[in-house]
Each structure stands twice: as C-alpha cells, then as structure tokens.
Amino acid sequence: MLFAQGNKNNGIPLIGDDAPAFSAQSTKGTIHFPEDYGKKWKILFSHPLDYTPVCTSELLELAYMQDEFAELNVKLVVVSTDDLERHKEWKESMETLTYRGREPVTIEYPLVDDKSKAVADAYGMIHPNNSSTKDVRGVFIIDPDNKVRAISFYPMEVGRSIDEIKRMVIALQTVDANVVLTPANWQPGNDVLIPYSKSGEKGTDKVTSSDDPSLYEVAWYMVFKKSN
C-alpha cells in the first residue's frame, strides 16, 4: 500500500518547499518518507524502469558511493515505477555484477515500489503531455528540515553524475554552516564567496583584504574568502 501527500504547486516541488511525504513498500520494508530519516539530509533518486542499462549504472555508482554519502549524514532513497518483486530481483542481479573492474557491491539503500506512480505524481515527475514514465528521472536533495534544496532532471539516455550530486550536498552543507556562497565549478576545499551586500556598493563600505586577511577581491561586488 502506498500513500503520497501532494505538494502545493501540483507540480515539481520548488526549492524551499516542504518535501512531499509518502509511505510505501520497498526492498527495506515499509518506509515513511521523509519522517523515517529524522534530521538527516536525504536524496530522493527516481527512475522509470528496472533492468534498464543507464539506471543500472547509476544505481551501482550510488552503491559504490553509499558509504561516502553516509559520512555526509545523507540517506539515499531510490524510487521506481516498477513493482516490489521486480525491484528485489533486479537488486539481487546488480549485486552479482562486476562493474568497471570493481567487486560486486551490496545495495544498502531502499528501492521503493511506485507502480501506482503516486510518488512520481507528488514530486511532479510525470510530464502532463506524456503518458509514459520516461520523465521519472529526477533527483531531489532534501535538508534536515525536510526542505527541498536542489532539483535536477536528466533524460533517460544520459546517465546522471553521482559525483555532482555529492558535490552539491557538500556545497549546501558548506554554505549552511558558514553563511557563504560557492562560485562556479567550486570543489570541496576551494575558496568561497561572501554574500553580496547592497550596502557594499562601489565606493561605500567596501570590504577589502585589509579588513580581513582571509578575504580578497575580484571586484567590489565579488569578494572571496580563503578556505585556509
């Protein structure tokens, strides 16, 4: 039995919205999302069909990195519009594969049965002009307060970057903890930006490296903070 609570937009929940709640059967038993995961970060990762090659590669990469996500206080939940028995069979098959020269891996995260498409609907993943499930290729990063913080969708022909999902989590945790911003192509350990302030307009109250040696300017409106 599956229950999903819709979102106020009747579409994709937007950044800052509460993550739609649902209860469903999974390969780890019944789960109640997001409440079962408390004050942890959560990644809801969806796909349209089991046994597809692109999705298989993604789920294996998630499994090889699941300990890295756990170290970041992140719980992984995968949703598929296939049924539970098919999930179980696919999981068992994936756990026997030698992928890219690595030993077989045990999949610790749950695969959720969304055959009814209730979760896909609650998260706005069914395209209104397309009756198929091919658009169920979303990633939702949800913070400890159960707010949606990042959203991405990929076409079914192109594999998602699990490294980029991890980078996004680290970036969000960094900006939350330090009240900073991250620039384009930022990687963990790189310098960050300090928030822009209108009171710092050109010629007035400008923050300079003389005020704080950890700061340096590219322009009066673009001030970096050294990571070390």
Supply the residues annotated as catalytic. 55
Beta-carbon-side half-sphere exposure of residue 89 (alpha carbons within 13 Å): 8
DSSP states along 150-195: EEEE--TTS---HHHHHHHHHHHHHHHHHT-B--TT--TTS-EEPP
What the block records as the tokens of 139 is: 């990633």
What the block records as the tokens of 157 is: 């022909």
DSSP state of 79: E
Q: Tell the residue number behind the tokens 């609907």, with chain if given.
A: 121
DSSP states along 91-110: HHHHTT--BTTBPP----S-
Q: Yes or no: say if 73 and 42 are a contact pair by the CB < 8 Å rule.
A: no
Q: Yes or no: say if 41 and 148 are a contact pair by the CB < 8 Å rule.
A: no
